[in-house]
């Protein structure tokens, strides 16, 4: 059981205001710093891996002896497995699968007050960790913006657990206060009382599904993904415009016939006792996928019946299988493996024209996300020498 914070009212108010001020200052510093770094990295004495080359519109890799890019280090990596997985304690603890919600956004999907008094067309849910404020800011200011996008009503939440190893300590109070302040400022934080670790991402999945079916029961579509992806929301909405939210849909980067890793040394090692079959059910890469409101509600029920499994996207595949639902592969979701540009120069992975044709791309720093957004924004979009984008011609969401 977690101890709840109990501070005298005045003390907590002061703490909160202090944290809010700190956050605001940080946010301001953050956006100016990003601009400065991206527009004139040299002048600030920092070497950026990527830089705009006038005329070519592509980014080029600088020589390798240059200092490492500063902003990469500024953005904490998303949770990754640390050390061998302790299956015994996982199996012992896995019956505990309900944790309290410490920070809620109960009004996120309320139709009252929303334009047209209707529920959101698209709820964007982004997995994040407490320390990754910078990426959350980048997502807020770019593809995760709330409001009307091509006529669609878009809302956003971030999904967080508690930073590990802080239980009952001052550090935990610090994080809690900071996240509360961030929640007051942006109204988009969901915080649950479980440890935010790689192998607890499955807990994040089931808690989000039940939160969304309770607090966003009428949402038309949900995009769920990582904070280090770039999402072309226009292309996503265009794809969804032809779909019925009352029908089942779960689309993304679909992996079929993936075999469980049986090598003990691997971070993804799964013993036969935990999963005995030769292949996992089809699943969508957790970096980013989209589902209909109907599927959201059915999944929340189905996942509640499935035993916890330490790999979150495979777990979701198991819930889908229970519903006899096959995830739909979409070629514009790239959650695994856009190769680094140096390895695949022909792919021009940092060319906005490349992104223009995709829906989801994985593995970006906060600065990458922000930059790509700026490059895609121009009045008529980027001038591309090559094929038509997926999105040709304007369309309005919800006219039909």
Ligand X SMILES: *[C@@H]1O[C@H](CO)[C@@H](O)[C@H](O)[C@H]1NC(C)=O
Instruction: Note whether 197 binds ligand X by CB under 6 A.
Output: yes
Best CA proximity match to 33, nearest among 388, 367, 310, 308: 367
Q: How far is the CB of 168 from ligand X (least distance, A)?
A: 12
SS3 159: strand
Distance CA 30, CA 362 (A): 22
Q: For helices 293-303 and 312-322, what crossing angle results, to 10°?
A: 100
- Which lies closer to ligand X via its Cβ, residue 79 or residue 363? 79
Owner of token pair 């979009």: 381
195 vs 248, which CB is nearer to ligand X? 195
Among 38, 105, 200, 235, binds ligand X (CB under 6 A): 200
Strands 250-255 and 328-329: parallel
- The nearest distance, CB 132 to ligand X, in angstroms, is 18
Nearest approach in angstroms of CB 226 to ligand X is 18
Instruction: Please list the residues that pair with 361 across neighbouring strands.
Output: 230, 334
By CB under 6 A, how many residues form the interface with ligand X?
7
Residue 218 or 307: the one with the smaller Cβ distance to ligand X is: 307
Cβ atoms within 10 Å of 250's Cβ, excluding its own: 26
**Residue 87 binds ligand X (CB under 6 A):** no
Closest CA to 292 of 330, 249, 322, 325: 249
* Min CB(2)–ligand X separation in Å: 8
Closest approach of ligand X to the CB of residue 387, in Å: 45
In this structure, are residues 97 and 203 in contact, taking their beta carbons and an 8 Å threshold? yes
Of 190 and 358, which has the nearer Cβ to ligand X? Answer: 190
- Our finding on whether 26 is near ligand X (CB under 6 A) is no
Distance, in Å, from the CA atom of 266 to the CA atom of 259, rounded to the nearest integer, reads 13
Question: CB under 6 A: which stretch of 193-201, 204-212, 360-368, 380-388 binds ligand X?
Answer: 193-201
The nearer residue to ligand X, 99 or 223, going by C-beta atoms, is 99
194 makes contact with ligand X (CB under 6 A) = yes
CB of 291: closest distance to ligand X in angstroms? 24
Comparison of 100 and 331: residue with beta carbon closer to ligand X: 100
* Spatial separation of the C-alpha atoms in residues 394 and 241, rounded to whole Å: 12
Token pair for 302:
């189905």
Phi, psi of 224 (to 5 degrees): -125, 130
Beta-sheet pairing, 189-195 with 101-103: antiparallel
Residue 49 interacts with ligand X (CB under 6 A)? no
Nearest distance, CB of residue 90 and ligand X, angstroms: 6
Bridge partners for 231 per DSSP: 360
The nearer residue to ligand X, 69 or 161, going by C-beta atoms, is 161
Query: Residue-wise over 62-94: b if at least 16 C-beta within 10 A, else e?
Result: eeeeeeebbbeebbbebbeeeeebeeeeeeeee
Residue 93 C-beta: closest distance to ligand X, Å = 6
- Helix/strand/coil percent split, the chain, to 5: 35, 15, 50
> The tokens 């896995």 sit on which residue?
94
Among 195, 301, 322, 384, which residue sits at the site for ligand X (rule: CB under 6 A)?
195
What's the closest the beta carbon of residue 81 comes to ligand X, in angstroms?
A: 9
Binding piece for ligand X, criterion CB under 6 A, among 101-109, 115-123, 191-199, 269-277: 191-199
Burial of 95 (0-12, 13-18, 19+ CB in 10 A): exposed
Q: Is 199 in the site for ligand X (CB under 6 A)?
A: yes
Shorter beta-carbon distance to ligand X: residue 191 or 291:
191
The whole-angstrom separation of Cα 34 and Cα 71 is 9
Q: Which residue number, 57 or 97, has a Cβ lying nearer to ligand X?
A: 97
Q: Does 309 bind ligand X (CB under 6 A)?
A: no
Interhelix angle 293-303/201-215, nearest 10 degrees: 130
Point out which span in 31-39, 100-108, 195-203, 282-290 binds ligand X (CB under 6 A): 195-203
* Nearest to ligand X of 246, 266 (CB atom): 266
- Residue 202 as a binder of ligand X (CB under 6 A): the answer is no
When asked if residue 90 is in the footprint of ligand X (CB under 6 A), the reply is yes
**Can you give the binding site for ligand X, defined by CB under 6 A?**
90, 93, 194-195, 197, 199-200
């Amino acid at each position: 059981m977690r101890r709840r914070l109990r501070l005298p009212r005045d003390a907590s108010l002061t703490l909160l205001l202090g944290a809010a001020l700190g956050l605001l200052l940080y946010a301001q510093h953050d956006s100016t710093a990003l601009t400065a770094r991206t527009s004139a990295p040299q002048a600030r004495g920092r070497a950026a891996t990527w830089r705009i080359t006038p005329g070519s519109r592509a980014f080029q890799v600088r020589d390798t002896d240059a200092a490492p890019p500063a902003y990469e280090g500024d953005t904490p990596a998303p949770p990754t497995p640390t050390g061998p997985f302790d299956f015994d304690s996982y199996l012992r603890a896995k019956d505990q699968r309900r944790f309290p919600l410490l920070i809620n956004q109960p009004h996120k999907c309320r139709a009252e007050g929303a334009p047209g008094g209707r529920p959101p067309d698209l709820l964007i849910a982004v997995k994040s960790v407490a320390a990754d404020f910078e990426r959350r800011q980048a997502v807020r200011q770019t593809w995760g913006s709330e409001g009307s996008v091509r006529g669609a009503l878009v809302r956003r939440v971030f999904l967080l657990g508690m930073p590990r190893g802080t239980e009952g300590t001052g550090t935990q109070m610090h994080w809690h206060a900071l996240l509360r302040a961030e929640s007051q400022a942006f109204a988009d934080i969901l915080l649950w009382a479980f440890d935010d670790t790689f192998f607890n991402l499955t807990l994040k999945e089931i808690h989000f599904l039940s939160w969304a079916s309770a607090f966003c029961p009428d949402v038309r579509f949900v995009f769920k993904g990582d904070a280090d992806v770039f999402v072309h929301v226009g292309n996503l909405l265009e794809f969804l415009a032809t779909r019925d939210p009352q029908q089942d849909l779960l689309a993304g980067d679909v992996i079929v016939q993936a075999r469980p890793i049986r090598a003990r040394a691997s971070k993804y090692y799964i013993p036969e006792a935990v999963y005995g079959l030769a292949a996992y059910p089809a699943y969508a890469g957790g970096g980013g996928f989209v589902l209909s409101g109907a599927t959201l509600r059915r999944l929340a029920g189905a996942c509640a019946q499935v035993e916890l499994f330490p790999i979150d996207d495979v777990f979701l595949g198991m819930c889908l299988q229970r519903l006899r639902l096959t995830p739909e592969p979409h070629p514009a979701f790239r959650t695994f493996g856009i190769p680094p540009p140096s390895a695949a120069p022909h792919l021009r992975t940092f060319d906005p024209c490349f992104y223009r044709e995709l829906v989801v791309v994985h593995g970006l720093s906060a600065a990458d996300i922000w930059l790509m957004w700026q490059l895609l924004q121009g009045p008529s979009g980027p001038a591309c020498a090559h094929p038509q984008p997926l999105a040709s011609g304007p369309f309005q969401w919800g006219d039909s």
